[in-house]
Amino acid sequence: MGKKKKRKINKRKLLSRIFLIVILITALVVIIKIVSNKTEEKVGITVIVNNEDITNSLINKPYITKANDIYLSIEDIRNIFDKNIIYEEKTGKILTTSETKTAAIEVNGTNIQINGANILQKSHILEYGNTFYIPISEISNIYNIESFITQDTAVINSLYKELITIKTTKKTKLKKGTGFFDDTIKKINEDTELIYVQELEDGKWVKVITYEGDIGYIKNKNVTEKVYKRTNMKDENFSDNLGDISNSIEINKTKIKTENIESFDARRNVIEEIISNVISKEKFTVNINLDGVSVEESLLKRFILELLPRLREIGGKAIITNNTILGTDFLLENNLS
């Protein structure tokens, strides 16, 4: 009986050890997954925007995830896409605009608000070295851009900009330069689509970008004619026929008060009301009457910057009357009469 009891104790110990090993393995798998999803600084990343290599002009080094989602700093996004992008401490949101989009990205939350609609973030804003890094995948819809990202290259193109492609007619070399001794970057297979940048003056070489982000030169005789996948889209300003003050909706000092424009959330409420009135009354000119308005210039500018894209989206326009606050440069930059 004593021997049987001893055998039973050993089985319990064995089961306990197996259970512990399973727990350790599970924990290790979870840790590996977490680590693999973290971002890491990639010193050798090449960033190409609208067919121009801007890598050396970046203020901060980009970050990239294992899943090839590239992060650019708020300072670099300010230089590339939106010079008025800011972090609003009061709401904990990064605020940015484009031609027809007004957006707020929660820094510590999960939502992006674009033109009044809430969208769930898939990748979140990161903060390193006292600056914010924003994933390109989350701002593509805001700035109307498309991106092709590999392990060490990001090719970003505006959907408003011209996109020309060509294809190789035979297996050929992509070279760093056009000289005889210039290195070959890679060999390109026949019928490979490439982004066309320019034809050199001698007509013998074409500068191209691969969808993997390689920039180089190919002999002109080895490629097809250019194909225009997208032409330049002209920005609409609606100034010719929509600046009719006699058929406008007036926004005045009753709405433009500090408490109504001091934060994104407050401004959003006012803007939603304006847009609703514009659509329901079919009056597509908004007269911002500054007579008697007493607010900080920076708050008023932010309000207007966030209103204008919403108006453009529905074919509207804003005009400024009785202005004693805003400078001429701001009015000209934003096509305000």
> 121-139, pLDDT tens digit by residue?
888 999 988 899 999 999 9
For CA atoms 23, 29, 32, 37, the dihedral sign is negative
Q: What's the pTM value of the predicted model, to 2 decimals?
A: 0.77
d(CA 59, CA 50): 18
Rounded Cα distance between 258 and 294, Å, is: 8
Task: Kindly report the average pLDDT of the chain as a whole number.
Answer: 86
For residue 117, the tally of other CB atoms under 10 A from its CB is 9
Q: Domain 46-157 adopts which CATH fold? A: Copper Amine Oxidase; Chain A, domain 1 (3.30.457)
- The CATH architecture annotation of domain 245-333 reads 2-Layer Sandwich (3.30)
pLDDT, residue 42, reads 47
pLDDT of residue 164 exceeding 70: yes
Instruction: Give the CATH number of domain 162-230.
Output: 2.30.30.40
Show me where the domains of the chain are located. Answer: 46-157, 162-230, 245-333
* Residues linked to residue 217 through DSSP beta bridges, in sequence order: 175, 207
**Based on the number of CB atoms within 10 Å of its own CB, is 103 exposed (0-12), middle (13-18) or buried (19 or more)?**
buried
Angle at 69 between CA 65 and CA 70, to 5 degrees: 90
